[in-house]
Structure 1
């Protein structure tokens, strides 16, 4: 429970900061957990690789979100 609380606080703190890149969604609790697992628990990969993967993943999620919103708005019209 404590770990989830820490992750939630981290996600809330990053959500309040100005968005440096509108093409990427903000860090979520799940994404922070994945990053911590990748940096601390998993086999060591280069940090640059892990950060590129996270950026790609969040960009893909943002693209999917926009697509879903556009589809929902199309049904209303």
Structure 2
């Protein structure tokens, strides 16, 4: 599962990743940008983010390239 932390003081969001990594980014942000304030904000969890997949990926890109080549070949004749 992936996690992303949102700052409770500004619009900062951590990157999607393991809870420990995103939590460290959140804590580091608070230390640097909001010293003295307790950690606040929200935590998103789920299968979102880059590691979740769901995009076209290489196979989708290959299909698009093949279709463009077919269209280009049809126009040349």
TM-score by length of 2: 0.30
Of Structure 1 and Structure 2, the greater strand share is in 2
Structure with higher helix content: 1
Larger radius of gyration: 2
